[in-house]
Amino acid sequence: MHSQGVINLDLVNLALAYGLVLLAIALARLQRIGQEGQMLWASVRMGLQLIAVGYLLHFIFAINRPLPVVLVLVVMAGFSLQVLGARIRRKMPGFYRVMGSSIFVGCGAVTFLFCALVVGYTPWYAPRYLIPLAGMIIGNSMNGASLAAERLAAEIGERREEIETAICLGATARQSADTAIRNAFRASLIPTINTMAAMGIVALPGMMTGQILSGTAPVIAVRYQIAIMCAITGAVAITSYLVLLQGYRHYFSAAHQLQDRRAAGDA
């Protein structure tokens, strides 16, 4: 069914697409990898969540007021913290405070600058722009932050003797943890760098593909994709750096002594 140049998918079309998920589940069962139930539940959860979000966004777009938009962004950030907490096994001390403040500052600043200076729409809270752009920035920054936190915890654990030796020789906590921080920051940026390197040749990104399918001229879709990818890269770098800048300090006492808190949770 066509509407203003856009091909609408009805329930039959979605059922056919869902058949591909069932095929993947059947292959997983054939190979006995033991993830069939997880795949089925994930696909059902995906559908229910997206349907709920679709109706919610339809409502928010209709009322077009700043408070509901801000509340949606707060909920998105809150869920990102919940996902991070469930994903990361070895949590740094003060995990939720570090992650929450880093996502708020890193993603908030980049989203505001991108929407105000690059896209330049009005009003500032226009939900059709702010919510999807913030969602892409938060989602990608969340992945970078999780990699940074996990790698930092692993590096601190593996380099414990090296760090303690450096401290005994007069190094500060920052100096002794410098290698761990640098390695963790590098790890947090690798997926984003790989995505940028492959974009346009190996794969067409989702945002660009969606715009083209909705009738946007390819050249305009490319410009938007380049702009949002630059914003995502900046947000990932800032958020991950803030995670590491705050996070490493929680492994040390005020006297620059490495504490025995290798897998502590929020403290």
Query: pLDDT digit string (tens) for 61-103?
Result: 888 899 999 999 999 889 888 888 888 877 788 889 999 999 9
> Containing domain of residue 52, as a range?
1-63
Q: Helices in the chain by DSSP H: which ranges?
A: 11-30, 36-63, 66-87, 95-113, 127-158, 160-168, 173-176, 178-198, 206-213, 218-247
Q: Between 259 and 233, name the one with better pLDDT.
A: 233
Residue written as token pair 């630059």: 230
pTM for the predicted model, two decimal places: 0.81
Looking at the fold, whether 46 and 70 belong to one and the same domain comes out as no
Residue 89 carries which side chain, given as an amino acid letter? Answer: R
Does 126 reside within a domain? yes
pLDDT, tens only, 126-146? 998 899 999 999 999 999 999
Does 257 reside within a domain? no
pLDDT for 213 equals 74
Looking at the fold, whether 98 and 190 belong to one and the same domain comes out as yes
Q: Residue 6 — pLDDT band, cuts 50, 70, 90?
A: low
pLDDT for 3 equals 47
Looking at the fold, whether 131 and 43 belong to one and the same domain comes out as no
State the burial class of residue 171 (Cβ atoms within 10 Å of its Cβ: 0-12, 13-18, 19+): middle
Does 191 reside within a domain? yes
**Stretch 166-178: mean pLDDT, rounded?**
91
Does 80 reside within a domain? yes
Looking at the fold, whether 229 and 183 belong to one and the same domain comes out as yes
Q: Chain-wide mean pLDDT for the chain?
A: 87
Contact 60, 131 (CB under 8 A): yes
Could you tell me what percent of the chain has a pLDDT over 90? 47
Provide the domain count of the chain: 2
Could you give the CA distance from residue 95 to residue 138 in angstroms, rounded to a whole number? 17
Looking at the fold, whether 45 and 168 belong to one and the same domain comes out as no
Contact 91, 152 (CB under 8 A): no
- Per-residue pLDDT for 15 more than 50? yes
What residues are paired with 7 via a beta bridge? 2
pLDDT, tens only, 144-159? 999 999 999 999 989 9
pLDDT for 267 equals 43
Domain boundary among 13, 46, 63: 63
Does 88 reside within a domain? yes
**Stretch 166-185: mean pLDDT, rounded?**
92
Looking at the fold, whether 37 and 124 belong to one and the same domain comes out as no
pLDDT for 179 equals 94
What DSSP element (H or E) covers 66? Answer: helix 66-87
Residue 267 carries which side chain, given as an amino acid letter? Answer: A
